[in-house]
A and B are shown apart, each in its own frame.
Chain A
Amino acid sequence: MKRGDILIALALLALAGLALLLRPSGAGGVYVNGEAVSGSVTINEVVIEVDGSRARVTDSPCRDKLCVHAGWLDRPGDVAVCLPQRVIVEIRGTARRQVDGVAG
C-alpha cells in the first residue's frame, strides 16, 4: 500500500500542476488593435515602434497627433489611441492590474 500511496500523491500533484498550467494567463506585451505584435509595424498608415515590451507611435497622418504625443508606453495599461485612423496601441501585462479603468 505504501507504494500505492506515493503513486496517488504523485498523481494528485501532477493533476494540480496540470490544472495550474491550464489556467488562462493574460499574455503580456504590445497589442495593436487587439493583436499581439513583436516588432515595429505600420497599421492604417500609423507607424508604431516596438522596442521590447514598450512601444510608441512615431508617425500618423491624423491631424491632432494625440497618439504620437502619448509618447512611450511602457507600463501595463498604457494606451495610445488614434481615433481618426482607428488604431489602438496598448501594453498588456501579466502583472496584476492595479486599476480596472481610467476615467476622464
Chain B
Amino acid sequence: MKKRFLLIAAAVVMIVAALYGILLFFQNAPYAPKTSTDFAMGSVLTQTYWTNWVSGNVRKAIEELEEELLSATEAPALALEIMEASNGAFNPYLGALVKLWDVDGQKYVPTQEEIEQALEAKELDLGAYGKGAACDVALRITSYNRGYPPVQGAVVNFGGNIFTYKQKTWWQPFKIALRDPLGGPNDTMGVFTLRGTHFISTSGSYEKYFERDGVKYHHIFDPETGYPACRDPGLVSVTVITGAEGYEAGGLSTGGAIGDMVSTACFVQGYEASLELLAQYSCDALFVYENGDVRPVGRVMEYYEAR
C-alpha cells in the first residue's frame, strides 16, 4: 500500500514538472518578448527580444558607431559605391547643404549662390547612412550572443528604421506596421509580415519639413539642384526592404546601411529611375504618393498588406 502511494506520488511530481515545463515553454521563456526603449545617436531606440538573456549591448555599440561616424573624414566605401550606382542621387557630401537649409532648426530658404557654395564644399554628412548602419550593428551584436538560450528573435526599431532578426516563434511571423505618411504620427497604412532577418528603411518628406510662403521644404535634398528632391512629383515616401543574405553567408552585415542609402536615392530619383538600383541590390520597395497611390517594386506585395 505504501509503495503504491510512493509510486503515485512520484508520478504526480513528474506530471507536475512536465506540465510546468510545457507552461514555461509556451508562456514564458523564451517566448515572452522583452522590450526596452532608449535614446541613441539622436533617435529613439526600441529593442524587443524573444529570449531570456541578451549579452550584447546594442545601445553602446550604436554610440561607438556614432563616434566613429562623427570623426570620419572619408565616406565609407559602401557609401561611395551606392553614390556611383545611383548616379549621384545618394550623395554623402551634402553636409554644408544640410546645415545651410537647417530643416531641424533655423529653417532657412537659401539663395542660389549659397546653395552652389554649399554643394562645392563637399562636406561629409552620413545622415542617410548612420541609422541603417546602426541596424547592421544591431544584427552583429544580436547574432554574437552565444549564451543559452541564443536570441531566438528580435525587433530593433531605431528611429523608424526596423531590423527584424530570425523569428519570434516558429509559428508567428513578425508583423511590422508601416506608418502612413499622409496621416498622423500614430497612423499606419499597412503591415509587413516577415520571417527571418530583414531591414526596413523609409525616406520620406513627411517627417522633417517646414513651410515658407505656402511652399513645403523637406529634408531630403537633390544633389544636382541643392533643393529638396522633387523629380517624381507627388512622391511622399519610399520604403526599402532588404535581407541579410550576405551576412548569413559569412560576410559583413551591410543590408541596413544599403537599405538606408538606397531608400534615400530612390526618393531623390523617383520610381522609374530607381528600378535598376533596387534590382542591383536585391531590394524590395514601396513608393507612396500624395494621392494615396502605392507603387510596389520586387516581391513586396507577397508580404505587404494594406490596411
A-to-B contact residues, CB < 8 Å: 4, 8, 11-12, 15-16, 19-20, 23-24, 33-34, 63, 66, 69-71, 73, 75, 78-81, 83, 86, 88, 90, 98-104
Contacts and interface: CB of A to CB of B under 8 A. Distances in A.
Given A4-B5, A88-B37, A104 B178 contact: yes
Contacts, number: 104
B15 interface: yes
B115 interface: no
B206 to A, nearest CB: 8
B239 A101 contact: no
A34 B184 contact: no
Interface in B157-196: 157, 160-162, 164, 168, 174-179, 181, 184-186, 188, 191-192
Interface of B: 5, 8-9, 12, 15-16, 19-20, 23-24, 27-28, 32-33, 36-37, 39, 42-44, 46, 48, 105, 155, 157, 160-162, 164, 168, 174-179, 181, 184-186, 188, 191-192, 200-202, 204, 237, 239
Contact of A71 (B27, B32, B184): B184
Given A103-B160, A103-B202, A15 B179 contact: no
A70 B162 contact: no
* Chain B facing A: main interface SS: strand
B220 to A, nearest CB: 14
B186 A73 contact: yes
Of the candidates B162, B177, B181, B184, the one having the most CB atoms from chain A within 10 angstroms of its own CB is B177
Given A70-B184, A101-B46, A34 B37 contact: yes
Given A11-B12, A100-B155, A34 B188 contact: no
Nearest to A73: B186
18 contacts: A12-B15, A12-B19, A15-B16, A19-B20, A20-B27, A23-B28, A24-B32, A34-B36, A69-B185, A70-B184, A70-B185, A83-B39, A101-B157, A101-B162, A102-B157, A102-B176, A102-B178, A103-B239
B192 A103 contact: yes
A100 B168 contact: yes
Contacts of A34: 36-37
A77 to B, nearest CB: 8
A43 to B, nearest CB: 13
A8 B15 CA distance: 11
A31 to B, nearest CB: 9
A88 B19 CA distance: 40
Contact of A4 (B8, B33, B161, B176): B8
Given A103-B176, A103-B200, A104-B178, A83 B186 contact: no
Given A100-B155, A101-B155, A24 B28 contact: yes
